[in-house]
Amino acid sequence: MANVCLCKGVSEETIIKAIKEGAITFEAVGEKTGAGTGVCHGARCKQTIERLIEEHKQK
């Protein structure tokens, strides 16, 4: 599966798992997986992470 966060090499699968475990903000996903905490600080991945949160968080 493609990496969502290129800086940290975090896959979409890893991010979806973190969301299902309760990380439902960009910051929480970052704490759990490292995604969004690389040198670009989410410039390349934040939008995708926020879309995944919307799609996968428990409603």
Q: Which residues of this protein are in contact with ligand FES, per CB under 6 A?
A: 5-8, 35-36, 38, 40-42, 44-45
Nearer to ligand FES, 11 or 24 (CB): 11
Q: Could you tell me the smallest distance in angstroms from the CB atom of residue 5 to ligand FES?
A: 3
Nearer to ligand FES, 2 or 59 (CB): 2
Q: Could you tell me the smallest distance in angstroms from the CB atom of residue 22 to ligand FES?
A: 21
> In whole angstroms, what is the distance from residue 44 CA to residue 58 CA?
25
Listing DSSP states for 14-44 in one string gives HHHHHHHTT--SHHHHHHHH-TT-STTTTTT
> In whole angstroms, what is the distance from residue 37 CA to residue 44 CA?
11
